[in-house]
Amino acid sequence: MGDRGGSGGPRRRRPGSRPSSQGGSGPAAAEEVRDVGAWGDSPAPDKDKDGDVDVGSGPWDLRCHRLQDSLFSSDSGFSNYRGILNWCVVMLILSNARLFLENLIKYGVLVDPLQVVSLFLKDPYRWPALCLVIVANIFAVAAFQVEKRLAVGALTEQAGLLLHVVNLATILCFPAAVAFLLESITPVGSVLALIVYTILFLKLFSYRDVNLWCRERRARAKAKAASASKKANGGAAQGTVSYPDNLTYRDLYYFLFAPTLCYELNFPRSPRVRKRFLLRRLLEMLFLTQLQVGLIQQWMVPTIQNSMKPFKDMDYSRIVERLLKLAVPNHLIWLIFFYWLFHSCLNAVAELMRFGDREFYRDWWNSESVTYFWENWNIPVHKWCLRHFYKPMLRRGSSKWLARTCVFLASAFFHEYLVSIPLRMFRLWAFTGMMAQIPLAWIVSRFFWGNYGNAAVWLTLIIGQPVAVLMYVHDYYVLNHEAPVAGA
């Protein structure tokens, strides 16, 4: 028996390996194995976790293939496409930079921050939109006084319901009449005032509902009068407010300014105001406001103005070209507006008021269906619709399809309300666009899944909004510019 550690000992050769010229033993054979690993068909030896050559791999260095899928195959399990995402961002920046430079060369610098003031005021000594906002306090106080009298039994539930209906109807009709009839108010001022009144309508609707639910619980628990107020509020925790102790002006105005549409007796509160967080949100608000104004003046306005002639001539190829050209800046401004409103503004208000629930949006950008998008992009409105509209209809025996259709119908009404009245024309483009979401939701859920569904949602967002913008701008242009000329 020979020494196994020596060079003369027997050596087992792997199948498929080539014997050395010296019998497969000794230093020459070892050198040949190293040469094949470094320069032959096999790759260099694997490295360990420290980056050094794995000297323990032995003759396995001769193997360079194994059973595996390509990275782009779905079976590979690979999901790290961060580099491709970065490439998409770079290409997006470069392509839009080219469009922006082309715009600057063609039109020059059109950004004028002072011009924005004229969108809010025609007469610097008359501020009708601001006056409308101040008058809104009357309707809030009226709802509060009705609830105070209902709490002590000075009004019946039927009388209280009638007063609330009249108050809520007036909230919608009064500013609409002022915006439609008063010549000194501008379209932008009208939009802002109507938005405030719409928010007030939704908040007072919720305020009335929650206080009604508290009274109903208290009535069911009047056998235990001592604990009725605790049951009405859903608990007896230390420091919480119970019905009817919540009926104060402090509580009402906290709710009116809080970034939510759904009333509660006890909102979640954050422990303190984070000054750095608040400062970042305020700086974002200032910067993004200027950015949106600049993009609208420099990019959107010239494109819209150049779209009027193709509409007048009914040149469909040019109309489609202008539509696609408008889609990019419109969608970019919409995305900036989303971040500005739902992240910067609402978080700033919530931080100032120490409002704890900061879920103002969810991951709508991953929407694979139209329904998922509408349920996740605007959480305050979605919560209100679910709590005060959708679920009450289901409890009354309505089907889910009917309840969902009614929710879209209400949303379509408010979209048209906020557009047609400030423009003083009724074309129902916004209403039609919202109601079209119902068949669109069915089509996307029926024929598109996964990434295809997500692409379909993005396509409707990018193309759908510019269509509505061009429709309203064209009709407004014809109504206010061409009609007087034709009459002359």
The number of residues in the chain equals 488
The answer to whether residues 303 and 325 touch, using CB atoms and an 8 Å cutoff, is yes
Counting runs of H as helices and runs of E as strands, what totals does the chain give? 21, 0
Q: Please say if 415 is a catalytic residue.
A: yes
Among the listed residues 343, 415, 474, 481, the single catalytic one is 415
Q: Which residues lie closer than 8 Å to 443 by C-beta, 6 or more apart?
A: none
The 3-state DSSP class for residue 457 equals helix
Rounded Cα distance, 1 and 9, in Å: 9
Q: Residue 409: name the closest of 432, 381, 426, 386 by CA.
A: 432
Q: Residue 473: name the closest of 313, 290, 294, 312 by CA.
A: 312
Q: Where are the alpha helices (DSSP H) in 269-399?
A: 275-295, 301-306, 308-313, 316-338, 346-353, 370-376, 379-385, 391-395
Q: What residues are paired with 269 via a beta bridge? A: 355
Buried b / exposed e along 39-71 (16+ C-beta atoms within 10 A): eeeeeebeeeeeeeeeeeeeeebbeeeeeeeee
Residue 261 dihedral angles phi and psi, to the nearest 5°:
-105, -10
- Reply yes or no: is the peptide bond before residue 244 cis, omega within 30 of 0: yes
- Reply yes or no: is the peptide bond before residue 422 cis, omega within 30 of 0: no
DSSP state of 15: T
Rounded Cα distance, 47 and 282, in Å: 51
Rounded Cα distance, 463 and 360, in Å: 25
Catalytic residues: 415
